[in-house]
Amino acid sequence: MTLKIHERLLLTGAAGGLGKQLRTRLKANCNILRLSDVAEFGAAEAGEEVMLADLGDARAVDVMVAGVDAIVHLGGISVDGPFAPILNANIVGLYNLYEAARRHSVKRVLFASSNHVMGFYTQGETIHADSPARPDSLYGLSKAFGEDLSRFYFDRYGIETVCIRIGSSFLEPRDRRMLATWLSYDDLHRLVTACLTTPVVGHSIIYGMSDNAVTWYDNSRARHIGYRPQDSSDIFRQAVYARTPEPDLKNPVARYQGGGFVVAGPYE
């Protein structure tokens, strides 16, 4: 069930793949959906506001955040690459976002973290929210920083945050790894809705996954969020097996949970 308890929500990263999916769905969660990204992505539709902002620009971010009740933060660099852009968007940009939230008394943020915070655990392990971070890339490292930053802003200023370690959110799983990490678009919205409407979330970490039979993530420490996935990668398993080879466990891409991110770079 989708509850409309917010007047105005901010969705950053609105032009990205998941931003486009949530743009249509989040209108059921609020009266006004404010959309933001770094580049032009079209005019506002009914019930929307559009505010473009570079996350590295503190003044632009302050204007973007003013007047919202809660933030769904998908913005930033979503792949691994050179450090400078990641620093600007994912580290400086996140600091700017939380500073703006503090100044404007925004009390809840949903932070799109990533499974790549934990990517150097092996695919034979099950991990939970309290497992030590093992980032697999500069991107994963930036998300680990974001989780720590959000915890500081909760402890110091009382801004509640749910860090959603998103697995692999696509229309369907693309390979065998995604059978464990897959998060359907509808389950993504169910998870975001739960994070927005649960009365008390404190500072929480939850793995963004559907109800997959095989998974590496234990969400038992986040049951207070009230997320109940309804989709599963299992219906795609036979087709994925048919089109992909047996994994070579000597290959780090097949051995570690982070997949190809564990071998990305270095970047010059």
Active site residues: 139
Distance from C-alpha of 183 to C-alpha of 167, rounded to nearest angstrom: 6
Sign of CA dihedral 182, 128, 113, 245: negative
E strand or H helix at 254, and its extent? helix 252-255
DSSP 255: H
In 3D space, the residue among 229, 209, 228 whose CA is nearest the CA of residue 218 turns out to be 209
Q: What DSSP string runs through 14-46? A: TTSHHHHHHHHHGGGGEEEEEEE-SS------T
Q: Where are the alpha helices (DSSP H) in 198-231?
A: none
